[in-house]
């Protein structure tokens, strides 16, 4: 599976974070950190757009 498709599948709830991290070759803990940063940035951008 392509790395970007694995991340997209995780974000859509089709695979777990552990499965995603295994597919892209990243430790689960690091993948969780990256995902948290992504969600924070997405929320920040959404708030800016709504102002």
* Predicted confidence (pLDDT) per residue in 1-51, tens digit: 788 999 899 989 999 989 999 999 999 899 889 888 888 998 888 777 776
What are the extents of the domains in the chain?
3-50
**pLDDT value of residue 47:** 76
Q: Give dist(CA 51, CA 35) in Å, integer.
A: 25
Check if the beta carbon of residue 33 is closer than 8 Å to that of residue 40: no
**pLDDT value of residue 15:** 94
Residues with Cβ within 8 Å of 12's Cβ and at least 6 positions away in sequence, in order, are: none
């Amino acid at each position: 599976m392509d790395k970007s498709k694995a991340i997209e599948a995780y974000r859509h709830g089709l695979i777990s974070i552990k499965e995603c991290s295994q597919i892209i070759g990243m430790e689960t803990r690091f993948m969780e950190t990256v995902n948290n940063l992504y969600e924070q940035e997405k929320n920040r951008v959404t708030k800016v757009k709504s102002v």
